[in-house]
Each structure stands twice: as structure tokens, then as C-alpha cells.
Amino acid sequence: MTEVPFSAIAAAIRGTLENQGFTKLIGAEVVAVEPRVVVMAVDRRPEVLQQAGLFHGGVIAYLIDNSATAAAATVIDRASRTVITAEYKINLVAPSTGDRLTCRAEVVKPGRLLTVVEAKVTCRTDSEEKLVAVALATIANLDVKTP
């Protein structure tokens, strides 16, 4: 395992997220990539809402899927392994009435095969961060096929 500085790993993860077609469509922002933690956010605009003017649940799920998988990617040896999202569970706990949605995903337990990640999503409402969703995700680590 070559020793790669974390800043290079973080830049690679950030680049992958930012270049996804769906990330560009939603207009999501990668706020932070740290060891075990990734934070992403989306600002309010009509295109990311549902019928009642709340952020759509699918936008919340998108943030959780991406942030959780990226958080798991911070704890693997990227030379030999890669990550895929195996499953997640989301609880929507309050309406997203605010102007900015932020998801913070943090590795609870890294593993050889599977990494478990918790995520919390808050919505900035009247300059307070209100909890709107919690999630628990399982990310699988795959061996990178080398020639």
C-alpha cells in the first residue's frame, strides 16, 4: 500500500462526486471530505422540491447515498479496493421547509468487506439547522481488478 496523502484522496473523491451527471443536475455541493466523514449540501430551488414546497425525499436520499458511499471511500486502500452502495435505510423525521439541505455521513464501523455509515440530514430553517432525516447505510468494498 503506497502512502497517499489524505488531501489527494479527498480531491479524488470530491472530483468523482462533482462529475456525476446527477450531481450536476441537482446542483449539489461537496462541502467537506475528511477521514471517515463526508458532507454534502443542496440549496432550495423549485427543481428539487415536491408538491408541498418541501425538499423532495429523493433529494434527501441522493445526499445520503452519495455522502455515505463517499465516507466509506475515505477508509479503504484506494489502490486495491473500491466501494459500492449495498443498502441504506432512511427515516424522514421532519418536513424540509428551509433553504438549504445538508447531509453529514460518518463511518460508524469500517470493515474489510462492509463499512457501516450513519448519516444525518439537516435543513437550515430561520438560521437554525433542524434535523430532517437520519439514515444507516452499508457500503461494500470490492477488490479492484488489476491486470
* Minimal distance, residue 12 CB to a second copy, in Å: 11
Site of grid cell 425538499: 55
Q: How far is the CB of 47 from a second copy (least distance, A)?
A: 4
Backbone angles phi, psi at 141, to 5 degrees: -100, 125
Nearer to a second copy, 78 or 111 (CB): 111
Given CA atoms 103, 25, 88, 96 in this order, what sign does their dihedral have?
Answer: positive
The reply on whether position 37 binds a second copy by CB under 8 A is: no
Question: Does 36 help bind a second copy (rule: CB under 8 A)?
Answer: no
Segment interacting with a second copy (CB under 8 A) among 2-10, 29-37, 89-97, 98-106: 89-97
Interface residue with a second copy, options 39, 70, 83, 88 (CB under 8 A): 88
Closest approach of Cβ 28 to a second copy, in Å?
9
In this structure, is the dihedral angle defined by the CA atoms of residues 56, 41, 25 and 7, taken in order, positive or negative?
A: negative
The interface with a second copy within residues 5-24 (CB under 8 A) comprises: 16, 19-22, 24
Does 31 contact a second copy by CB under 8 A? Answer: no
Please report, as ranges, the residues that interact with a second copy according to CB under 8 A.
16, 19-22, 24-26, 45-51, 56-59, 61-66, 69, 84-94, 108-109, 111, 113-114, 116, 118, 131, 134-136, 138, 140, 142
